[in-house]
Chain A
Amino acid sequence: MRAPVQRYRNILDFALSSLLRRKGRNLALICVYTLVVFVIASLIFFVQSLKREARELLVQAPDMVVQRMVAGRHDPMPAAQAEAIRAIRGVEEVHSRVWGYYYDPVFGGNLTVMGSDDPTLAADAVWIGQGVARNMRVKEGDLISLRGYGGLPMLFAVQKILAEESELVSSDLVLMSPKDVRSLFNFPEGLATDLAITAGNPRELPTIAAKIVEQFPDARPILKSEILRTYEAIFDWRGGLMVVVLGSAVLAFIIFAWDKATGLSAEERKEIGILKSIGWESSDVLLLKFWEGSVVSLTAFLSGVLLAYVHVFFFSASLFEHALKGWSVLFPRYRLMPALDGYQLTVLFFLTVLPYTAATLVPIWRAATVDPDAAMRS
């Protein structure tokens, strides 16, 4: 049993020393290969992590949001409908929400201004997201000025800055009392932007939604699962967009790797001939080249994945954040929680390591199966 193991070890030793013999070529290959794995793995890690983050944050979101549609557009809905909806069996709680978007001309970004019934939120005070605080350069206790509907500035005291953990969805958020929201936007009393509904049993949500539509044909119920699906679709779409943009780089690598892997030099052919003439079998030569290919591709794969991990989870994917997090000037800034998906990593492994290894073996197999004297003369 020792001889076969020793044979593997001997050939692996020689494969490593062969790789060192062609340091320049192999280092160049590993660098480009690592770069490609790094880019793809960064995208995978980033998108997966964002999706997980969104899923965790949406746990606190209402089970269902009901909006009113007029001519296919979102329109404020009568707050009185809340009572009728509350009467539907299975509905536990209905909450009228008042919110809107505020364009801040100073830093050119949109804020999401939302009414909050939290009793600790004082009148003429706001709770703001991390992005808003960063851009306005304010801290708790400072005053901020927002331009009201009539053009006059309204002053609000910053009572609290929202926690970093929720920055993915709260970066651009400004919370104030519903009364202040109505004053800021001149939002009529008796109307709400939408209704947030909590159900006792989430399984009943589709039935409740059907009943709401039956009762109010202009209502549009949006389930939490649909919001989650939309988030996931958006992140997938953005990730896909990046893959398309980077596609040319990946293609360039494939051409490069194919050329490097399949282009057997005259010297390599001669070496194969020498090895065969001194007693190596074709299978020994194939094993040698398999080890060489495996060392190159595994090194590149592991380095690329490791670099991507550091890039995404320690540096918040600084290379891709503008494309992947959003287009707003209020980019959320946060450190993602590490999330590794074994399935995605396996797919990446099969997409990068196997094709390269196969590409190296085909020409070697062709060279290794000819008579040794032919390989030496060629």
Chain B
Amino acid sequence: MIELVDVVKTFQAGLATPFTAVDGVNLNVPRGKVTVLKGPSGSGKTTLLTLIGCMARPTSGRIHLHGLPAGTLPQLAKGDSLEITSLPERFLTAIRRRTFGFIFQQFNLVRGISVLENVLLPTYPTGEDHGDAEARAIERLESLGLARHLHASVDRLSGGEAQRVAIARALINDPTVIVADEPTAHLDSKLSEDFMMLMGQFKAAGKTLLITSHDPIVYSSPLADLVVEMRDGRIVAGP
């Protein structure tokens, strides 16, 4: 599904203090499986996720997406492949919108607006009918046990509830890949187990999951098909 070839990401390249966060990574993320990137803080996991998720460009190397859904980009047929590192921003945005659903470590909900509105945010620029999108968002939130919080402000939610809102938002455009960055970092063990159960449901539904974590509940979970260990920007154990 996702193929990384010798990917390097250097921050402040060309300046006095360059910092290489990802250093020559080669990796294949299989379709429909759960891949876990584990490693200590600063090992480059999150940076690698942002590169895969089209949020930043690598300094060098290539990232290929295989078997993309039809309509990801104009004139792209179902199952086509794309090399994404050289694409202009609007194409990267289109891929990000249709292919990836992000669950962030800090949840990254927009404060001051309701749960429902947060979940609807990814649909606004697509020009989708508001009523259709809202019906889908309510369905997602109900399936995650958040029906009674639809119109509550996200500022009033507990950590577990906020994460489920973030999950509903990640799913709203029906992505093929769910990317989660340290999803259990702010959850207790019970909520972390619940989260992994949800991931199991998504896996069963055919989603590809890519999770970074240094939490044993995640990387030791029987759900994890592939565990890749990173340190200092390099893969030190895994495939």
Spell out A's residues near B (CB within 8 Å).
Answer: 2-7, 9-11, 13-14, 17-18, 21-22, 267, 270-271, 273-284, 369, 371-374, 376
B239 at the interface (CB under 8 A from A): no
Query: What does the 1/0 interface line of B115-126 toward A look like (CB < 8 Å)?
Result: 001000111111
Given A271-B110, A281-B90, A371-B55: A10 and B122 interface contact (C-beta under 8 Å): no
- Please state if B57 and A371 are interface contacts (CB–CB under 8 Å): yes
- Please state if B112 and A276 are interface contacts (CB–CB under 8 Å): no
Given A277-B96, A277-B102, A278-B169: A14 and B55 interface contact (C-beta under 8 Å): no
CB distance from A195 to the nearest CB of B (A): 76
How many Å lie between the Cα of A281 and that of B97 in the bound state? 10
- Please state if A4 and B127 are interface contacts (CB–CB under 8 Å): yes
How many Å lie between the Cα of A214 and that of B104 in the bound state? 93
B173 at the interface (CB under 8 A from A): yes
- Please state if B127 and A267 are interface contacts (CB–CB under 8 Å): no
Question: Given the complex, which residues of B lie within 8 Å of A14, measured CB to CB?
Answer: 117, 121, 124
Given A275-B121, A373-B50: A280 and B93 interface contact (C-beta under 8 Å): yes
How many Å lie between the Cα of A18 and that of B124 in the bound state? 14
Given A271-B110, A277-B108, A278-B122: A7 and B127 interface contact (C-beta under 8 Å): yes
Given A7-B127, A10-B130: A282 and B89 interface contact (C-beta under 8 Å): yes
Residue in B closest to A12 when the chains form the complex, CB atoms: B124
Residues 61-92 of B contacting A (Cβ, < 8 Å):
89-90
- Please state if B89 and A281 are interface contacts (CB–CB under 8 Å): yes
Residue in A closest to B102 when the chains form the complex, CB atoms: A277
- Please state if A21 and B169 are interface contacts (CB–CB under 8 Å): no
CB distance from B126 to the nearest CB of A (A): 7
Question: Given the complex, which residues of B lie within 8 Å of A13, measured CB to CB?
Answer: 124, 130
- Please state if A10 and B56 are interface contacts (CB–CB under 8 Å): no
Kindly identify which residue among B50, B96, B113, B126 contacts A17, using a CB–CB cutoff of 8 Å: B113
Question: Given the complex, which residues of B lie within 8 Å of A273, measured CB to CB?
Answer: 108
- Please state if A284 and B55 are interface contacts (CB–CB under 8 Å): no
CB distance from B202 to the nearest CB of A (A): 17
Question: Given the complex, which residues of A lie within 8 Å of B117, measured CB to CB?
Answer: 14, 17
How many Å lie between the Cα of A267 and that of B93 in the bound state? 22
- Please state if B122 and A279 are interface contacts (CB–CB under 8 Å): yes
How many Å lie between the Cα of A280 and that of B173 in the bound state? 12
B111 at the interface (CB under 8 A from A): yes
How many Å lie between the Cα of A372 and that of B89 in the bound state? 11
CB distance from A316 to the nearest CB of B (A): 44
Question: Given the complex, which residues of A lie within 8 Å of B109, measured CB to CB?
Answer: 274
